[in-house]
Amino acid sequence: MSRNLIHLAVFMLAFFASITPATAHVKWFAPYIVGAPPKPVSYTIADAWFWFGICLVSVFFVTARAVEAGAYGPVALDILDRLTRPLWDRLDDYIRAIVAAFFVAIFSVGGIYLTPDLKTPAEWVSWMQLVIAGAIFWKRTMPIAAVGIVALWLLALRDYDLFHLFDYLALGLGVALYLLLASSGRESWRVHRFEALRWGLAIALMWSSLEKFAYPEWFYPLVEEKPFLTFGLPRDGFIPMAGVAEFTMGFGLIWTPLIRRLSALALLVIFTSAVWPFGRIEIIGHGLIMAIVLAVAADHSMSSHLLSNFKTRISNIPIGLSAALAVFVTGYWGLHLALYGSEGYVGPATQERATHSHNPDQPHGPQANGGIGAPPTRGQEVIR
């Protein structure tokens, strides 16, 4: 039995490794039009590659939960606990340090709000990021850092569409809420700090994964320039399976302890592997996510405060996954329809613009309006 489980684990790891590079955030490397109408949901539902990916991940989750509920579950969790004990003992220090390091990194890059695609010519924004980094090291000033993170997101609304910024809302709120809870003197509040961070990351991953189904054409330039990314899979099979992996691993982060820790390890492999083909922009942009994923893998807590009894039943895994897909798909396509209408909005077809200028780190980016780092006008992240 154990040998079969090892074989299955190796197979699943190979599956996740084969789709790792597609986790790179496409908006950092290729042209995109946020207001363009997405492909209909029926396009994905009719895709056999989508269902193939769902079946593979479902087998992974069901097997992991069966192991967790059986005699080998405590053994597997004990092994993970022993491997991650040094990090668990200093987990708060680690998280605060990596959040501060992230803001120092984007301060050093300069000209961005929170991620590489959110450009700004305002120099004072970078100094605000340095203040946030410094405020994280004292409990009394951690709430200031939390407010600063939310403020950066709100400031980006001046130059970018709300729908675009939804990509970064959940993670930003998760980090901000962690800082608020961690600085609290009430233990009944502090106990939820890691869970807030984990849920923020999970929601962010599930939301951003949907662009692989809504706008697969955004990924075509990357696949054409770096054909090795697909590991021999057809382009139109590789992209939806990458979306499935990102969504389901995000979903796994909110499930039972073994599933969420194994999902975190799979995500760590995915994001780490994306660094080599995409370089420093990838590691700066996703560095915070990678560090938080490692924190989730090192989290020894066994509690799951939301629907804990529901999650323990194996039969509820497909129900939970289906419900998550329904909620996020409805939210993504529904909000896009509400904001842009059924025909979408791409702006007047006058010239080509983007949030970033063409350079070796963004090989597909047309020139930004007004030069390097100049933000586009609202609703026109790329206009053709």
Q: Which residue has the tokens 């090795």?
A: 228
pLDDT higher than 60, residue 99: yes
For 315-333, what is the mean pLDDT?
95
Residue 325, pLDDT score: 96
250-253: list long-range contacts, CB under 8 Å, 24+ apart.
Answer: 250/201, 250/202, 250/203, 250/204, 250/205, 250/206, 250/209, 251/202, 251/206, 251/320, 251/321, 251/324, 252/61, 253/198, 253/199, 253/201, 253/202, 253/205, 253/296
For 193-205, what is the mean pLDDT?
94
pLDDT higher than 70, residue 53: yes
Poorest-confidence range of 37-46, 146-155, 284-293, 364-373? 364-373
pLDDT higher than 60, residue 355: no
pLDDT higher than 50, residue 65: yes
For residue 217 the two structure tokens come to 């054409």
For 262, counting Cβ atoms within 10 Å of its Cβ (0-12 exposed, 13-18 middle, 19+ buried), the class is buried
For 99-127, what is the mean pLDDT?
89
φ, ψ at 19 (rounded to 5°): -115, 10
Residue 270, pLDDT score: 80
pLDDT higher than 70, residue 38: yes
Q: What percent of the chain clears pLDDT 70, i.e. is strictly above it?
A: 77
pLDDT higher than 80, residue 300: yes
> How many whole angstroms separate alpha carbon 364 and alpha carbon 272?
22
For 3-7, what is the mean pLDDT?
45
Residue 229, pLDDT score: 67
Q: Which pLDDT band holds residue 365 (cuts at 50, 70, 90)?
A: very low
Q: Which pLDDT band holds residue 374 (cuts at 50, 70, 90)?
A: very low
**Which tops the pLDDT comparison, 172 or 288?**
172
Q: What percent of the chain clears pLDDT 90, i.e. is strictly above it?
A: 52
DSSP-assigned beta bridge partners for residue 152? none
Residue 152, pLDDT score: 95
Q: Calculate the average pLDDT of the chain.
A: 81
Residue 303, pLDDT score: 74
pLDDT higher than 60, residue 102: yes
User: In whole angstroms, how large is the CA radius of gyration of the chain?
Assistant: 21
Q: Which pLDDT band holds residue 347 (cuts at 50, 70, 90)?
A: low
For 63-68, what is the mean pLDDT?
93
For 311-338, what is the mean pLDDT?
94
pLDDT higher than 70, residue 379: no
Residue 282, pLDDT score: 63
Instruction: Find the distance separating the first CA and the last CA of the chain, reported in whole Å.
Output: 57
Question: Of the ranges 196-205, 264-273, 350-359, which is most confident?
Answer: 196-205
pLDDT higher than 80, residue 138: yes
For 36-62, what is the mean pLDDT?
92
pLDDT higher than 70, residue 35: yes
Q: Which residue has the tokens 């590991």?
A: 231
Distances from the Cα of 341 to the Cα of 66, 164, 166, 337, 376, angstroms: 45, 15, 17, 5, 21
Residue 334, pLDDT score: 95
